[in-house]
Amino acid sequence: MTLDLLLAAAPLVLIATLLAFRMPPIPSILVVIAITLALSFRFPIDADAAHNTLDSLIHVSIAVLFIILGGIMLAESLTASGAQDAIGSWVERAAGSKGRAVILIGLGVSPLAESIIGWGLGIIICVPLLLRIGLSATRAAGVALFGLVISAWGSLGPGNLLLSESTGVDYIAITTWTAILSLPGLVIMGTAMLLLGLGRREARAMLPELALTIAVVWSVLVAGNLVSPPLAGILASLAGIATVLVLSRIREGSIPALDPMTRRALAPYGILVVSMLGATALASLLDLGPAEDVATSPALWLMITAVIAPLIFRLTGTQLTSIVAKGLRRWLPVATTTVLFIAFGGLLTATGMTETLSEGAAELGRGFLLLVPLIGFIGGYTTGSGTGAAAMFATGTAGASSFIGVDPAVALGGQNAATSTSTMTTPSRVALAAGMTAGLAAGDRINIPRLMGWLLGTNALVLLALAPLTLLLA
């Protein structure tokens, strides 16, 4: 049993090691898949398990790929049209103070951009805004990265969907527990944003506004999952933005009106939210049969929004050609990596390695739950993706939880909440933030070691809070 456990863990240890040493994701996962197949002498592939796993993963892979494609194409349209600049300029004027701007950007704008489109767009949008309000390159990068705190709902949450599809655990239960267990991350990252952006003395004065904003964001995040899990991150971010704007109105006396360009820039977001809510409401009132999964799929509405956006912004044919070309170039490596990670997760299940790991973890009893957030952190750090982390660890966590007699939805929620914050530490995200400051903060070089210290330190605090909380609630 000990040898089987070591061999079953070997592919996961290897992929984590290769990615940690910055080997590119696609070669890394191909090597690990080959080694996993080679271990079939000890873990033969079960034909029935392989068939069932393949059926499930084909469905979720198609949905995930279209979500990623729609998000990337929408991001390209928003950039080409100048919509991002228009939104950013208005946000800066609306905040009213530096401290409130940090809260608005970190707990509103960044999570909103990630929830709708994902893949680091929150960093791309927020670093210029934070530099504009006077933060240094290192501090601007840190606050923007802390803003990825609810990235479990990034790109409308394909990772959440994969968690449910690959384990058979109720989708809403997983996302709701993820939201509940996101509170430590919101509190710790929100506080870190203020300390980093303002310094200790000024941050202390803004704590009441921060606490109110966090309370609203978290409450809407939890409630939103009971209505429409894919939209929960968007609704929570919008609630955070609204809270800060109301506080700004109370403190400053007024907020700037939305000019026509800003209203047009926000239109695709409105279309996406209204369409998703409408489809969800329709499905709750009428029996749509087999069409319900398609009608309520975030992939469908994100693709529709991506198609409509160029019409809203009246982009030219040349611009549209450039958007499609750039979008496909960005999408192909992300899509390939995602499919390979999903296939790897399915292979672990079909060979029985996941079951072996589950049984080994279950020998720890309820103590296994203390390790669940660490598993989520490792998945997020190594893959930079909630989807990748779900593909690697979901079935093992769910199986071990069921084996020891606890609710797997709670365990998956704890794992997912840790993954949500750990994606900000992954080298690709840090490199993106550093690249943004290099182009905009002339002469102000980013301090990568210090930045990584902040990111890893705050994530360590999240893990220390999540481990006993997951054990208590399971």
Question: pLDDT per residue over 254-293, tens digit each?
Answer: 788 888 888 888 888 788 778 877 887 787 777 777 777 7
Question: pLDDT per residue over 52-105, tens digit each?
Answer: 667 666 776 777 788 778 877 887 888 788 886 787 678 778 887 888 989 999
Q: Tell me, yes or no, whether 434 lies in a domain.
A: yes
Q: Tell me, yes or no, whether 402 lies in a domain.
A: no
CB atoms within 10 A of CB 24: 12
Question: pLDDT per residue over 139-194, tens digit each?
Answer: 998 999 999 999 889 877 888 988 998 888 999 999 999 999 999 999 999 999 99
More confident residue, 298 or 69: 69
- Structural domain that includes position 437: 72-330+427-473
pTM of the model: 0.76
Domain total for the chain?
A: 1
Going 159 to 164 to 165 to 167, the CA torsion angle's sign is: positive
- Say which DSSP state 405 is in: T
Q: Tell me, yes or no, whether 396 lies in a domain.
A: no
Q: Tell me, yes or no, whether 39 lies in a domain.
A: no
Q: Tell me, yes or no, whether 272 lies in a domain.
A: yes
Q: What is the C-alpha separation between 266 and 258, in angstroms, rounded? A: 10
The rounded Cα 303 to chain-centroid distance in angstroms is 19
Q: Which H or E element spans position 391? A: helix 386-403
Q: Tell me, yes or no, whether 369 lies in a domain.
A: no
Q: Tell me, yes or no, whether 454 lies in a domain.
A: yes
Shortest CA distance to 406 belongs to which of 376, 368, 377, 379? Answer: 368
Question: pLDDT per residue over 303-343, tens digit each?
Answer: 898 899 999 998 888 899 998 998 888 788 877 877 787 78
Q: Tell me, yes or no, whether 122 lies in a domain.
A: yes
The rounded Cα 301 to chain-centroid distance in angstroms is 18
**Residue 438 corresponds to which amino acid?**
A
